[in-house]
Chains A and B, each alone.
Chain A
Amino acid sequence: MMRAPGSDLPIELADARYHVRGSVILDGISLVLGEGPPTVLIGPNGSGKTTLLRMLMGLIAPTDGAVTWGGRRNAPPVRRAIVFQRPVMLRRSVSANLVYALSSAGVARAARPRRVAELLELVGLLALAARPARGLSGGEQQRLALARALARDPQVLFLDEPTASLDPAATKAIEDLIRTVAERGIKVVMSTHDLGEARRLAGEILLLHRGRIVERGPAEAFFAAPRTDEGRRFLAGELLI
């Protein structure tokens, strides 16, 4: 196990804002994410879930305010990884995709074959190792994207609506993997549209609305009795405008 110097946790946002061409996407977010069970972001479309995840990952910088990882402002994403909603496969085989991820994470050449086998086994793609990655189904590609992310041996794993385009069987496969990953001590931060999925996976809920965190708290408590009006209406299935 490789440990880079310094930890990426806790991730801290201090009054972070993000606006683009005049429109405000994130409107003053302050939060601290530490180790623990999965944190799930929920909220209507356009509430800023994707932008928030990308900012926490470090892909975009806040236009105001600051984000720090383990207290550091410009920490490169060495121990963080992200799975996008529609992952892009490299034009090579399944295992070559993993080798690429391992090599960009600095894993020694000799150690790669073993890690590739382990990861493929974990996500259930061992039989497809030699196939062109672009020929895989949506669910298989998502699993490969997950394996690529795990190849970086991350402390924090971000997932942006990972099952939004998948059928129920593939969805279950992904959710099971997320559970396994969380049990291994990796901090999972994900967004979802599916309240059922949130119920199944979340340890903590963050409700976003119009670029602000409206409610935050332990999942059980939220689903039993949301504290805010937006929370109640969102759970009831109303459209939050």
Chain B
Amino acid sequence: MPTDIPVVDLVLRADPELLAIVRLSLAVSLAAVACAAALALPLGALVALTRFPGRDATIVALNTLMGLPPVVVGLAIYLLLSRSGPLGDFGLLFTPQAMVIAQAVLVAPIIAALTRQTIEDLWLEYCDELAAMHVAPVQRVRTLLWDARFSLLTALLAGFGRASAEVGAVIIVGGNIEGHTRTMTTAIALETSKGDLPLAIGLGLVLMAIVVLVNALAWGARRAGERLAG
């Protein structure tokens, strides 16, 4: 990316390097949310609906893990994925996949904790009706997840916000390799450390614009959905 051209011009003429960075940022964060959701939505619903020994401790743990520091997650995943680490044979370090894994780990507790709260509240409302309709436990989970979809979308957006904003995890496991693992946040960190503050700020504004766009789209989808199905 040329450093002596204002970011606005880079955006307007669709600078290929900037586009590649934006594309990677979105792909990594969205994939991380998708992977985290696949695990965290059922997990959160399960904790909400079942009674088991240690349930309270589990809930406290989930809520606490929402505040996992990204650098700590990055470091832990780095040590796992390093060639000298237990999962080194997969050769995942310094790849976009490692970044997805790290962000998924970071974001999963947020989605799980918010899902648990949402589903538990909804279960209070629904339990009589679902029991009366003799709905099987697995089906109950699916019904609650679906009926809570708009609140759960908010949980997913919270996860996406956390993922797209963080730099500590992706820079450690990704290595900020130009053209390969450089995202918006790592690029901003790099330009800041190089002293190119105008470019860093410009990139920051581009990142914010993208996040606003994603949230606006999600809100629009929610409104459309609400109108259709209530």
Contact = CB atoms under 8 A, between A and B. Distances in A.
A88 B126 CA distance: 7
B135 interface: yes
B129 A92 contact: no
Interface in A67-82: 76-78, 81-82
Interface in B208-230: 226, 228-230
A234 interface: no
Contacts of A19: none
Given A77-B134, A132-B230, A91 B128 contact: no
A194 B141 CA distance: 38
Interface residues of A, number: 27
Contact of B133 (A91, A133, A152): A152
A135 B230 contact: yes
B229 A88 contact: no
Nearest to A59: B131
Interface string B126-162: 1011011111000100010001110000000000000
A108 B128 CA distance: 24
B94 to A, nearest CB: 44
A140 B100 CA distance: 48
B6 to A, nearest CB: 47
A100 interface: yes
A34 to B, nearest CB: 22
B148 to A, nearest CB: 8
B125 interface: yes
Nearest to A133: B230
A171 interface: no
B118 to A, nearest CB: 12
B229 A84 contact: no
A87 B126 CA distance: 9
Residue among B132, B147, B148, B230 with max Cβ neighbours from chain A (10 Å): B132
B152 to A, nearest CB: 12
A104 B135 contact: yes
A232 interface: no
B46 to A, nearest CB: 20
Given A90-B143, A90-B147, A131 B135 contact: no
Contact of A134 (B131, B228, B230): B230
A92 B229 contact: yes
Contacts of A135: 230
Contacts of A82: 132
A132 B229 contact: yes
A46 B139 CA distance: 34
Nearest to B128: A84
Given A92-B147, A104-B133, A133-B230, 6 more contacts: A59-B131, A84-B129, A84-B132, A87-B129, A135-B230, A148-B133
Interface of B: 125-126, 128-129, 131-135, 139, 143, 147-149, 226, 228-230
Interface of A: 57, 59, 76-78, 81-82, 84, 87-88, 90-93, 96, 100-101, 104-105, 131-135, 148-149, 152
